[in-house]
Amino acid sequence: MKPMIAPKVVVVMPAYNAGRTLKMTYEELPKDAVNLVILVDDGSTDTTLDIARDLGLEIFVHNRNYGYGANQKTCYAEALRAGADIVVMVHPDYQYDPTLVPAIIDPIVRGEADVVLGSRLKTGSALRQGMPWWKYVSNRFLSGVENRAFGLALSEYHTGYRAFRREVLETVNFQLNSDGFIFDQQIIAQVVAARFRIDEIAVPTRYFPEASSASLVDSSVYGLRILGLVARYALHRRGVRSRRFDSLRARYSRLPALLPSLK
């Protein structure tokens, strides 16, 4: 029997003004479980780039602040280009525990999942760990709406701690997604539409001044956009097709049938 080849694990860090927390996030990454760390700087105006260079990270720089979704697009494209088998997004603001990378990739390594989310709500201790009550309530409500729309039973969709099998990122058309925060939910809807398997692990909640956190107004706008996304997904399932939810694999498979009409 041939020995199993360990997958190439690439951690991507979408960074924007993360100078105060980047070093401690990187230092807690389990280096024996990670082959490469890529940081994409989205127009930071602090010391993020200086610290990233001192740490020896693979760095890609946006010439201005394009947005969280745009940052992820570059993260995933560069990770695939680097030959990643598994891509893990770790926010450099230290809000998610970097030491849990082996746990979040484990279901993928064992062939039991294609995407794994790090849920802050899985253990029911988010409020005790500092999550604002209004954020907790809205998170629970929106996750419930998404569970009904997607036919799943996840405890949280609104986490920035995520792991993807390579084929997922090669299949869903994430480049069509928003450059803003709604990107996180758009790619999950694409994953569901492409029938990939999603699992989750429990992760602790961290809230402190240096960690990024959206305001009540921004969170409200985000919530309304999620409801709109769910509505568009439901229409797609009912035959009102949207290019965003068509996988690249499905689109390419239809090309031979289309070619005669192009002559």
- Domains defined along the chain, listed by start: 9-262 (3.90.550.10)
- pLDDT given for residue 102 in this prediction: 98
Nearest to 89 by CA among 115, 63, 61, 128: 115
CA dihedral 31, 33, 35, 40 (to 10 degrees): -70
Contact 26, 60 (CB under 8 A): no
- pLDDT given for residue 218 in this prediction: 72
Contact 200, 156 (CB under 8 A): yes
- pLDDT given for residue 91 in this prediction: 96
In Å, how far from its chain's centre is CA 225? 17
- pLDDT given for residue 206 in this prediction: 75
- pLDDT given for residue 246 in this prediction: 85
Quick count: other Cβ atoms within 10 Å of Cβ 35? 17
Contact 130, 52 (CB under 8 A): no
Burial of 203 (0-12, 13-18, 19+ CB in 10 A): buried
- pLDDT given for residue 132 in this prediction: 77
- pLDDT given for residue 215 in this prediction: 62
- pLDDT given for residue 146 in this prediction: 95
Question: Mean pLDDT for each consecutive 10-residue tract of the chain (263 residues)?
Answer: 77 97 97 97 98 97 97 98 98 95 98 96 76 82 94 94 98 96 96 97 77 63 88 85 75 40 32
Contact 15, 41 (CB under 8 A): yes
DSSP state at residue 116: E
Which 3 state secondary structure label does DSSP give 66? Answer: coil
Bridge-partner residues for 118, per DSSP? 201
- pLDDT given for residue 185 in this prediction: 96
